[in-house]
Amino acid sequence: MGGDHGPSVVIAGAERSRRRYPELRFVLHGEADAVLPELEKYPKLKEASEFIACDTSIAMDTKPSQALRKGRRVSGMWKALESVRDGNADVMVSAGNTGALMAMSKFCLRMMPGIERPALAAVWPNLQGESIVLDVGATIGADAEALVDYSLMGSAMARALFDMDRPRVGLLNIGVEEVKGLEEIRTAGARLREIDLDGMDYVGFVEGDDLGRGGVDVVVTEGFTGNIALKSAEGTAKQVGQYLRDAMSRTWRAKLGYLLAKDAFDMLRAKMDPRKVNGAVFLGLNGIVIKSHGGTDAEGIASAIDMGHNMVRNDLQQKISADLEQSRFGSDLDDAVEPEALD
């Protein structure tokens, strides 16, 4: 029921994902008058789906506290989370209110042992392919322990999605030198150097330009910085796209040049298509919850569903649990090298 377009786009996206992965089954939660007419358009999806009617939906502008008070146990968002909690679904995907989704997810599913705050992790295209960036907006600020947890969870996500054994992980900082940055970042870096995990390769600090260059597989930061970086990248992509459209339509020679180079422009458009990497996952919960961009289309919804399918198929939750347990067996964060010792 959420997002800018509601059930019409969500149902169409589910059908696209079903065609790619015929083994998928869906539990659809929403208002019957809005959902069922759309579902009738896709007979095969209807056969693969169970519909659960809900009289209440969470509006996009509802405050998280209000969503918990008014929508708990009765809204489609809550019912969908319950289906994951109770084992009736493996993944919950929503294009709805982000704040409400995070608050309800924490309340319904609870956090994994030892994790205090979730991280919103997104797939980020770069010159080398793709990387994981987290947190991109779930929580403002993060101490050293949270940054270490984000690194472990992001590494597990990269292994699950990218089919790699030892992802390279970097902490986003204002410089690569060990003496730079806030104390929390330096302390987290010292702790990550101590951890010797088979499934993670901590490479040190990275800077903002590494997001586009793809120097690492996982970039870790706190939610305020991560969200600004994400929105800046989205805005830059739109800006460059508009520059190209304006330049290609300026003169008849430019239009002719566009026609001659159309294949190259189509390839560029495909690489910059945000729908292909739509969907960010709340890491640290006892269940997989994926937040789709509210303004996306059916292809974007399908990409978010595909991401959830791959996470389940590659045992994301088990990988996170194993990494957290291994990292906490031994020295505590308090035993890490003090930042002053690095000066």
Tokens 């990275």 correspond to: 206
The whole-number pLDDT of residue 164 equals 87
| Tokens standing for residue 25 | 């089954």
Residues paired with 290 in a beta bridge: 93, 281
The whole-number pLDDT of residue 336 equals 45
How far out from the chain centre does Cα 339 lie?
Answer: 31
Per-10-residue mean pLDDT, the chain, length 343: 89 95 95 94 94 90 87 89 94 92 92 87 86 88 90 91 89 86 89 85 90 89 88 80 82 80 72 73 93 89 93 88 75 45 39
The whole-number pLDDT of residue 274 equals 67
The domain locations on the chain are 7-109, 119-274+323-342
**CB half-sphere exposure, 262, CA atoms < 13 A:** 4
The whole-number pLDDT of residue 341 equals 40
Whose CA is closest to 113, among 270, 325, 298?
A: 325
Distance between CA atoms of residues 311 and 319, nearest Å: 10
CATH number for the segment(s) 119-274+323-342: 3.40.718.10
The whole-number pLDDT of residue 343 equals 40
The whole-number pLDDT of residue 271 equals 65
The whole-number pLDDT of residue 334 equals 46
The whole-number pLDDT of residue 111 equals 92
User: How far is CA 120 from each of CA 18, 92, 136, 206, rounded to the nearest angstrom?
Assistant: 25, 14, 6, 19
The whole-number pLDDT of residue 312 equals 92
What is the pTM (predicted TM-score) of this model? Answer: 0.84
